[in-house]
Structures are given as structure tokens and as C-alpha cells.
Amino acid sequence: MRVLLQPAFVLHRRPYRDTSLLLEVFSRDHGRMGLVARGAAGPRSRLKGLLQPFASLLLSWAGAGELATLTAAEETGLPAPLPPHRVLAGLYVNELLMRLLPRLDPHPSLFAAYPLLLTELTMASSEEPPLRRFEKCLLDELGYGLTLDCEVVSGTPIVAEEQYCYVLDQGPLAIGSFEGGVPISGRGLLALRDGVLTDPAVLREVKRLTRAALAVQLRGRALKTRELYRARREPG
């Protein structure tokens, strides 16, 4: 099989043999897949500087299965490069995609959300709201979307002023009807539903919920980027 100039992003790259690279890419029509970029790490290869995480590319490849051979790459120029202080946030998202997306399973809506996230990370004053919105989108695409508009037992609409506990295999329950779950206000549930995440207290609630939901999908596997976040917060 030969694929010509498919929109894609590099999620991760590592050396392979002497002058080649192994790539994990997220493509529009083929989802997450592995590519061998032969000779791309050589001193004269123009691909060495092109095949970088977060760069919007058009890739061509040949071969079937989970590991194909890169045959061409072109840069689109968008979105703008991530500033240094946002690179870790981008790497966190890339690690989530590599851990949670099955190979060769297209997710066009998630692919469309990815460059929007990169643009927001470049321009927004805080990385937290874009990350929480993308986490919600990822959970939706995986088939584990969060119930954010009604209490699951009664079916009544979420009330901003009320308090709830979110049980991950059920949904939001009124406080007192269940022991456990992730505590969250109705304001937090509605903010995540609408993607309007401007209140710092609401953001903290929403982060606890999306992280708990993602932890279930990660099945106990630790994320390296979270360890880097913790190390960055520790005083030198």
C-alpha cells in the first residue's frame, strides 16, 4: 500500500540503527501508526530537522501493517512552533495519544482538535484550559465520554450551585447518594461541558475529574511527562 501526502503530526521519534528514525505519527485518515524514516538522521538529510514533534506535515509512506516506510515529507508551516515553556504540555498530550489510541484507528475529530490545541498552547495565557478541553475530547473519542449535563439517577439537569460526586463508571450523583467518586461542583461539570474554563477553582475540580477518568484508561501506567511536571515544580 502506498499513501501519498497524508496530513500528519509526529508524536515521537527515536534513533534507529545508524542513520534512521523510528516515528510515531498521528495521521488524519489512518490514525496512530509507526513509520521508519530511513536515512533521516544522516548528516545530509533535510528530514532530520523536519520530522519534529508538533510540526504540521504532509507525509507519504509505503507498506502495510503497523510499521511502514516513510517515502516523503513536506512542511505545511502551521501551526506556529510551541514556545519553550509550553513544550512539556505538548509532550504530555503526545504521550496520552501514544498510550491511549490504538494503531491504525482513524479519529478525524480528534485530529482536527490537535492543531487547535497547539495554537491555544502557543497563544493562551494558561495551558490548563486547552489541556482540559483536549482531555475531554480524547475521552469522547475513546468512547468513555463524561456525562456532564444531568444527574444519572434522577436524570435532572445539573445545577451549578449544587455539589456532586462523579462515579467514573456511572456519572455525576448527588452528594449523599453514593460514598466515593470524584467530588465536583455543578459549576465545574457545566464548565467542562461548555469548554468555558476561566475560574481557577473550577479548573482544579475539572483537572481532578479528567485525570481520574484518564487514569482508568491508562490502567495504572505512569506517564513520563507527569514525572517531568513534578520535577519542574520541585525547588532546585
In tens, the pLDDT along 130-143 reads 999 999 999 999 99
The model carries a pTM of 0.94
pLDDT at position 234 is 59
Name the percent of the chain lying above pLDDT 90: 87
Comparing 21 with 77, which gets the higher pLDDT? 21
pLDDT reading at 182 higher than 90? yes
Helix, coil or strand: residue 207: helix
Sign of CA dihedral 181, 183, 189, 191: negative
> CA–CA separation, 73 vs 69, rounded Å?
12
Query: Could you report the per-residue pLDDT of 149-164, keeping only the tens digit for each?
Result: 999 999 999 999 999 9
Q: Which residues span the domain enclosing 30? A: 2-75
Picking from 37, 57, 75, the residue at the C-terminal end of a domain is 75
Picking from 58, 75, 92, the residue at the C-terminal end of a domain is 75
In a domain, 122, yes or no: no
Comparing 92 with 176, which gets the higher pLDDT? 92
> CA–CA separation, 10 vs 17, rounded Å?
19
Domain count, the chain: 2
Contact between residue 154 and residue 178 where contact means Cβ atoms under 8 Å apart: no
* 165 sits in which H/E element: strand 163-167
Q: Angle at Cα 104 formed by Cα 26 and Cα 40, nearest 5°? A: 50
Residue 69's contacts (CB-CB under 8 Å, 6 or more residues apart) are 35, 36, 38, 61, 62, 63
CA dihedral 14, 124, 134, 23 (to 10 degrees): -10
Number of helices (H), then strands (E), belonging to the chain: the values are 7, 8
> Is the bond leading into 43 cis (omega within 30 degrees of zero)?
no
- List the CATH number of the domain containing 64: 2.40.50.140
Contact between residue 69 and residue 25 where contact means Cβ atoms under 8 Å apart: no
pLDDT at position 64 is 80
In a domain, 55, yes or no: yes
- List the CATH number of the domain containing 195: 1.20.1440.120
In a domain, 125, yes or no: no
Q: Which amino acid is at 117?
A: L
SS3 content of the chain, % helix, strand, coil (to 5): 40, 25, 35
In a domain, 32, yes or no: yes
In a domain, 16, yes or no: yes
Query: Could you report the per-residue pLDDT of 48-100, keeping only the tens digit for each?
Result: 889 999 999 999 999 987 799 999 999 997 777 899 999 999 999 999 999 99
In a domain, 196, yes or no: yes
In a domain, 83, yes or no: no
In a domain, 58, yes or no: yes
